[in-house]
Amino acid sequence: MRRTIGVLGLGVFGRTVVKELTDEPVDIITIDKDKTITQRIESYVLEAVIGDFTDMELIKSVGIAQCETVIIATASSLESSVIATLNCKNLGIKNIIVKVKNKRHREIMEQLGATEVIRPEYAAGLKLSKQLRNPNIRDVIDLEDDVSIVEFTPPKKWFGKSIKELDLRSEFGLNIIGIKSAQTNMINYNLAVDAPLDETDILVAIGNKDDIEEFDYVED
């Protein structure tokens, strides 16, 4: 069954979300005031509407109420985000995802009942800083306040040793949940804990954020 997703605001973030969703089994409804941008996105979506996404009558008329998820994808105006969030709440939208630009706005949107509040620029900055601190770190995903997932290239001193032999849980507080192949970019979750690691392996681990951000486990 196809789901319907609404994207309110077609800045860089909103357009990226739309294009990334085009290969998924979803129907997308977008609303933005900019005619040129809206026309450019028409081929990717079920309906591309030119208008003010804070207008309750407009969003009802184009079917936003039928959306399972609505993404309020612009953070340029707190007032617009607040009105759009409240409108979506009043329409009974199950999942309301709101982009914000700072911590104060995040707190406001959470208090209004947004299902998820995101700060993509902040998250991207954190990710980049972690990668710059140690080039062996390929990606870090924060799941909760104290839990993260990390993808990293094992240090050379681990080559030829197995996950079981390294005992990373005891040594670094890391639980290896998968191994990604650098050649195929696919993650194998069926771990062969006795198999030796080599330079083509990328480890995927979950653990406490403080342990992960120590980065001592990737030092050669």
Q: What are phi and psi of 58, to 5 degrees?
A: -65, -50
Q: 111 and 135 share a domain?
A: no
Q: 73 and 174 share a domain?
A: no
Q: Which of 118, 143, 163 is the last residue of a domain?
A: 118
Q: 146 and 180 share a domain?
A: yes
d(CA 41, CA 39): 5
pLDDT of residue 188: 86
Two structure tokens written together for 216:
């001592």
pLDDT of residue 181: 81
Two structure tokens written together for 69:
């998820």
- For the domain that residue 176 is a member of, what is the CATH number? 3.30.70.1450
Q: 112 and 155 share a domain?
A: no
Q: Which of 118, 153, 182 is the last residue of a domain?
A: 118
Q: pLDDT tens digits, the chain, 220 residues: what are they?
A: 789 999 999 988 899 899 989 888 999 999 999 999 999 999 999 999 999 999 999 999 999 999 999 999 987 888 999 999 999 999 999 999 999 888 888 899 999 999 999 887 666 666 655 655 566 777 777 776 678 888 888 888 999 999 999 988 888 888 999 998 877 778 888 888 899 998 888 999 888 877 777 756 666 6
- Look at the chain and report how many structural domains it folds into: 2
d(CA 214, CA 170): 15
Query: What residue type is 200 in one-letter code?
Result: T
SS3 state at 208: strand
Domain that holds residue 174: 123-218
Q: Which residues contact 145 (CB under 8 A, 6 or more apart)?
A: 209
**Is the Cα torsion angle 40, 41, 43, 44 positive or negative in sign?**
positive
pLDDT of residue 159: 92
d(CA 28, CA 215): 40
- For the domain that residue 113 is a member of, what is the CATH number? 3.40.50.720
pLDDT of residue 101: 83
Contact 5, 21 (CB under 8 A): yes
SS3 state at 156: helix
pLDDT of residue 184: 79
Q: 10 and 100 share a domain?
A: yes
pLDDT of residue 102: 84
